[in-house]
Amino acid sequence: MKAARLETSARLQRVLDYLSDGREHTTLDIVVGASVCAVNSCIAELRANGFDIACRREGDVWLYRLIERETA
């Protein structure tokens, strides 16, 4: 997969903005809140752009959370 660059992708920017509160969000939350479809692909692309995003499953629901970057 060739990941889009955050700097040129409004789609990835919307997802990152949505996740920037540091809370867990379900796949559906992200679909609705960031107006995207393939959440798993967006997460993979954000990871390829250097972001640490945790993912866990709770029953049939997937939850994603942006891990805050430590500042040096």
Topology of 6-66 in CATH? Arc Repressor Mutant, subunit A (1.10.10)
CB atoms within 10 A of CB 15: 28
Give the C-alpha distances (Å, rounded to integers) separating 27 from 39, 49, 72: 6, 20, 32
Give the C-alpha distances (Å, rounded to integers) separating 21 from 1, 52, 68: 27, 14, 9
pLDDT digit string, tens, across residues 9-63: 999 999 999 999 999 999 999 999 999 999 999 999 999 999 999 999 999 999 9
CB atoms within 10 A of CB 72: 3
The reported pTM is 0.89
